[in-house]
Amino acid sequence: MSSSIDTRPVILTGDRTTGPLHLGHYVGSLKSRVALQHSHRQFLLLADTQALTDNAHDPEKVRRNVLEVALDYLAVGIDPVETAICVQSALPALAELTLLYMNFVTVGRLERNPTIKTEIQLRGFERDIPAGFLCYPVAQAADITTFKATVVPVGEDQAPLIEQTNEIVRRLNRQVGRDILVEAEAMVPTVGRLPGVDGKAKMSKSQGNAIPLSASPDHIRDAVRRMYTDPDHIRVSDPGRIEGNVVFTYLDAFCDDRQFVDELKARYRQGGLGDVTLKRHLDGILQALLAPIRERRARFASEPDYVMGILWEGTLKARARTEATLAELRAALGLFTLT
């Protein structure tokens, strides 16, 4: 007899739906999601509820980008048969568990969370922190645990969020006297963060230094042309610097031919390789990478009903899983159930 039990490790990850995804996402997360979707049971959360915690004034942006991000997923090769793509706001169990967990986490604990502290400063919230923003680590803990995810890909700076999640897991398991929730492990990416085309540490749509996955050939060419290199590399014959040179960082990230990149680096350091020629190489590589993504994206975008069907299917799978955990936890805690 064959068993239908899926024993693969469970990944929960996703994106706040605040803008279409870009090359930074491709390098930092999308590529590995595509690679992991067969060996892992993967849920991708279109995190519209979380996006509202600092975009409550612009829900229209959050709404619009649910489909945009979904299109990006499909365009890069997320296979909706392997990966459940689901809409966070269509999963009420997440909200219910968030409220429940909020009774087990103190305000002081949330205020001490380093990730939250940094982000409060970044957003200039200070004393006007929306309660939803302060509590979003609890919401995230609800997301992770409701899916019973064992592997959660996060940036290095987000490790405190996984720690907060596991604290809640241990607290709840202790109260019910058995391991009903599972601790999650952070999966920190091995590749560094892709800088913006202007050389700033982070590629971000709001900074205007991003190349979106849907970028047109002209957009890509123009972005590469404007890309930050070595400001002291004036003439072709001058020796140039590799460190902090965004073109080389991108070549390292996107060119599979390591030997070719090493040769370019040597010639650039030595002098004799101009920025125009160098950038032409990168442009060719990015054009080749993004052309099929852009085409697939356009094909999916022309069939919104089909995409909506994919989201429904993924959301129903996610609903079954999250409702089951909620019911299990409520029963274990001895909460009331209408029968």
CA nearest neighbour of 21 among 79, 67, 60, 55: 67
CA nearest neighbour of 251 among 210, 201, 194: 194
Structure tokens at 160: 């405190």
Rounded Cα gap, residues 205 and 212, in angstroms: 8
Give the nearest distance from C-beta 20 to a second copy in angstroms: 15
Indicate whether 324 belongs to the interface with a second copy (CB under 8 A): no
Give the nearest distance from C-beta 55 to a second copy in angstroms: 8
Rounded Cα gap, residues 166 and 73, in angstroms: 28
Give the nearest distance from C-beta 331 to a second copy in angstroms: 10
Inter-residue contact 110 to 338 (CB < 8 Å): no
Q: What is the CA radius of gyration of the chain?
A: 22
Rounded Cα gap, residues 225 and 276, in angstroms: 8
For a second copy, the closer CB: 6 or 305: 305
For a second copy, the closer CB: 35 or 308: 308
Indicate whether 135 belongs to the interface with a second copy (CB under 8 A): yes
Indicate whether 92 belongs to the interface with a second copy (CB under 8 A): yes
Give the nearest distance from C-beta 38 to a second copy in angstroms: 26
Rounded Cα gap, residues 82 and 102, in angstroms: 33
* Cα 210 to Cα 31, 114, 301, distances in angstroms: 17, 27, 21
For a second copy, the closer CB: 138 or 247: 138
Indicate whether 48 belongs to the interface with a second copy (CB under 8 A): yes
Q: Which of 21, 34, 62, 247 binds a second copy (CB under 8 A)?
A: 62
* Cα 150 to Cα 7, 144, 158, 186, 326, distances in angstroms: 12, 8, 16, 9, 17
Q: Which of 38, 39, 79, 107 binds a second copy (CB under 8 A)?
A: 107
Give the nearest distance from C-beta 166 to a second copy in angstroms: 17
Indicate whether 95 belongs to the interface with a second copy (CB under 8 A): yes
* Cα 181 to Cα 38, 140, 149, 166, 171, distances in angstroms: 24, 14, 9, 9, 10
For a second copy, the closer CB: 66 or 213: 66
Q: Which of 9, 31, 96, 119 binds a second copy (CB under 8 A)?
A: 96
Rounded Cα gap, residues 337 and 35, in angstroms: 41
Q: Which of 31, 82, 119, 132 binds a second copy (CB under 8 A)?
A: 132
Give the nearest distance from C-beta 73 to a second copy in angstroms: 15
Give the nearest distance from C-beta 120 to a second copy in angstroms: 10
Tell me which H or E stretch contains 43.
strand 41-47
Indicate whether 128 belongs to the interface with a second copy (CB under 8 A): yes
Interface residues with a second copy (CB under 8 A)?
Answer: 17, 48-49, 52-54, 56-57, 59-60, 62-63, 66-67, 87, 89-90, 92-93, 95-96, 98-100, 102-108, 110, 127-135, 138-139, 175, 308, 311-312, 315, 330, 333-336, 338-339
